[in-house]
Homo-oligomer: A and B are copies of this chain.
């Protein structure tokens, strides 16, 4: 059984922070923020504390138009609370009853993982229609002592409905993910769980904020990414120029520019970093929903989902629309 994405949608909190404002909080120049991150504005949660409300805002128009799914799959990196997982709160916001609900988490690759999992679960015959949704309130964990990550992060949510189709050409033509966990300390929010709970004597306030060692991360990731991408395209039997649209995670402006340097024409790479920042797991489905809304995707197009994630992991999916 093949799958098709029949609808996509995204939502952001109303409050916008410009890079001028962020630069002032960081004691850096606006140009520094623009150059290092590519971010000009990002939406921030403000008083919103519940990612489920934002995820439901993205999902609601999809459900109203296409009906309830057979399964709700949440694909986020930063939870609403320690336990239970966030899909259940989205389920409640959407007023679902009886519909099964769970989460997948591969940090910034969560959407791609959820899309692949959806194809597999629909292929198993137990589901026909799956709602994938995700929201990240990453701005709430910004550490303004770490200018680069604090300048990058933004908040947002997205939802897509995936459906079984008889069109045997639709869905994944190729999929690959790899993880090199020697990078697992390079990005994270160390606190909150069993390892450094809030009441542990050695826990600092910074343990509950986002930490990223950007330079070490690049050193580890870029060589893997280059090789991964070459292998992936070769095994999929296509060239970079054959891809109709690249829907990447939005790590940063410089990160996205690597893709054009590696042969993907700039006008075929969805780039929303300037407007929304890095929204963690929400970035990839937001990029998809923005491109879809702008009419940049048509039936039969070959979409390349591509991203890196804390871990580090790299994932790619060649998807026939």
A contact set with B: CB distance below 8 Å: 45, 49-51, 72, 77-86, 88-89, 91-92, 96-107, 109-110, 113, 116-117, 119-121, 123-124, 126, 137, 140-141, 175, 177-182, 184, 187-200, 205, 208, 210, 309-311, 313, 315
Provide the bound-state CA to CA distance between A191 and B208, in Å.
Answer: 12
Task: Given A83-B188, A84-B311, A97-B180, check contact A194 B78 (CB 8 Å).
Answer: yes
A77 cross-chain contacts in B, Cβ below 8 A: 83-85
Q: How far is the CB of A189 from chain B (nearest CB, A)?
A: 4
Q: Which of B99, B105, B181, B208 contacts A199 (CB 8 A)?
A: B208
Q: Which of B51, B82, B179 contacts A88 (CB 8 A)?
A: B179
Q: How far is the CB of A186 from chain B (nearest CB, A)?
A: 10
Q: How many copies does the complex hold?
A: 2
Query: Judging by beta carbons under 8 Å apart, are A196 and B81 in contact?
Result: yes
Q: Which of B102, B193, B205 contacts A113 (CB 8 A)?
A: B102
Main secondary structure of the interface of A (DSSP, over half): mixed
A72 cross-chain contacts in B, Cβ below 8 A: 179
Shortest Cβ distance from A54 into B: residue:
B194
Shortest Cβ distance from A106 into B: residue:
B102
Shortest Cβ distance from A140 into B: residue:
B194
Q: How far is the CB of A304 from chain B (nearest CB, A)?
A: 17
A208 cross-chain contacts in B, Cβ below 8 A: 82, 197-199
Query: Judging by beta carbons under 8 Å apart, are B83 and A107 in contact?
Result: yes
A113 cross-chain contacts in B, Cβ below 8 A: 102
Task: Given A51-B194, A105-B85, A198-B191, check contact A91 B121 (CB 8 Å).
Answer: no
Q: How far is the CB of A118 from chain B (nearest CB, A)?
A: 9
Query: Judging by beta carbons under 8 Å apart, are B103 and A106 in contact?
Result: yes
Query: Judging by beta carbons under 8 Å apart, are A193 and B101 in contact?
Result: no
Query: Judging by beta carbons under 8 Å apart, are A195 and B50 in contact?
Result: yes
Query: Judging by beta carbons under 8 Å apart, are B88 and A184 in contact?
Result: yes
A200 cross-chain contacts in B, Cβ below 8 A: 49
Query: Judging by beta carbons under 8 Å apart, are A50 and B119 in contact?
Result: no
Provide the bound-state CA to CA distance between A190 and B80, in Å.
Answer: 8
Task: Given A96-B179, A102-B106, A194-B140, check contact A83 B310 (CB 8 Å).
Answer: yes
Query: Judging by beta carbons under 8 Å apart, are B81 and A177 in contact?
Result: no
Shortest Cβ distance from A98 into B: residue:
B178
Q: Which of B84, B123, B187, B311 contacts A124 (CB 8 A)?
A: B123
Provide the bound-state CA to CA distance between A1 and B230, in Å.
Answer: 29
Shortest Cβ distance from A53 into B: residue:
B195
Q: How far is the CB of A58 from chain B (nearest CB, A)?
A: 16
Q: What are 21 A-B pairs at a CB distance below 8 A?
A: A50-B194, A72-B179, A77-B84, A79-B192, A80-B195, A81-B189, A81-B190, A81-B196, A82-B188, A82-B190, A82-B191, A84-B188, A84-B309, A84-B310, A88-B179, A89-B184, A91-B184, A98-B180, A102-B106, A102-B313, A123-B124
Q: How far is the CB of A98 from chain B (nearest CB, A)?
A: 5
Query: Judging by beta carbons under 8 Å apart, are A45 and B84 in contact?
Result: no
A105 cross-chain contacts in B, Cβ below 8 A: 85, 102-105
